[in-house]
Amino acid sequence: MEVLGRLLAMLAVLLVGTGLRSSGALNDARTARLNATAYYVALPALVFVATYDQSIGDLLSTELFVGSLAVLFATGAIAWIAYRNRLSNDRRSVAIIQSYHSNLGYLGLPLVAATFDTQVTAIASVILGFVTLVQLPLTIVVLSAFGAAEAAIGRELAALAKNPVLLALIAGLTVGSIGVTFPGGVVVGLDALGSLALPLALLCVGAALQIDADAVDFEAVGSVVALKLCCMPLLAWVVFSALSVDRATFTAGVVMLGMPTAVSTYVYANELGGDAEFASLNVFATTVASVASLFVLITLLG
């Protein structure tokens, strides 16, 4: 019941963000400031605190790396086959990317940190790092292959090099590997900032969601929800079981890869010729439906 209560609270905060945006209380400028606080302050603090006392060798295993990427590419391949002869090009590209592109930063890591122990959170931070480095360029390539807009892969990769969350991950793993200690007060302060990551992220995600009920293609949206929230975590469960990873790695891998579609996919669809309205619907649907799917996953994982 505690897990269900936490997930329902997550949904409530998400819908509060949507309501504040609809009422005008959370306008573009305020949403941008809220987003910047989450992106540049809360999330990096959460990542650093989760990894600063851990060695990278204890967190990143070959099985975790290979398994995560195998699940990512397998889900993408299944989506490509499923949509190969369906939908228009602009919708097909969006359906494919939103079947595998997970919301690892804004929802995944904060939720794991709020639900599981520090070891699982640290491994989830590492998953956030290397999976982001793969799924983002892959998404740009897929959208560009179907769309009319040219890919800005170089620009996006340059932006990744300055990503504060990834920089915090590198800093945390470096500090953990060389054994530097930090004063307790600093750690407590960073931990307090990191605890703001989930509510801030949920408000930002809620404010970014847009939905036009009259334009919903229930079959197409339902198939994306099924691939993202059912197929992908099931594949993760099978792959990590086959690789015989330890319990913390298994938990972090399955939960992180079971996250809903990232809000950023809507942004990239809008920039690179995808169906932005369809992308927004899928983000909304997978995010809301993830309350049920994550409850099942977290309950099964204990």
pLDDT digits (tens, 9 = 90+) for 120-144: 999 999 998 889 888 888 888 888 7
Averaged pLDDT of the chain: 84
96 CB-near residues (< 8 Å, 6+ apart)? 76, 79, 80, 83, 142
What pLDDT score does 241 carry?
A: 97
Is it the case that residue 160 has pLDDT exceeding 90?
Answer: no
Q: Which domain holds residue 158?
A: 2-301
Is it the case that residue 277 has pLDDT exceeding 70?
Answer: yes
What pLDDT score does 1 carry?
A: 57
Angstrom distance (rounded) from CA 95 to CA 19: 26
Angstrom distance (rounded) from CA 263 to CA 257: 15
Is it the case that residue 18 has pLDDT exceeding 90?
Answer: no
Percentage, residues of the chain above pLDDT 70:
92
Structure token digits, residue 55? 């060695």
The stretch 256-269 carries a mean pLDDT of 87
Residue 150: which pLDDT band, with cuts at 50, 70 and 90? low
Q: Which CATH number is 254's domain given?
A: 1.20.1530.20
- Structural domain count of the chain: 1
What pLDDT score does 215 carry?
A: 62
Angstrom distance (rounded) from CA 90 to CA 88: 6
pTM of the model: 0.83
What pLDDT score does 156 carry?
A: 64
The stretch 259-263 carries a mean pLDDT of 89
The stretch 49-60 carries a mean pLDDT of 77
Between residues 86 and 120, the one the model is more confident about: 120
At 83 the three-state DSSP class reads coil
Between residues 61 and 216, the one the model is more confident about: 61
Residues β-bridged to residue 102 = 261
9 CB-near residues (< 8 Å, 6+ apart)? none
Answer for the pair 257, 293: CB distance below 8 angstroms, yes or no: no
What pLDDT score does 147 carry?
A: 59
State the amino acid at position 41 in one-letter form: V
* Size of the chain in residues: 302
What is the 8-class DSSP label of residue 86?
S
Return the minimum-mean-pLDDT range out of 69-83, 116-130, 139-153, 238-252.
139-153
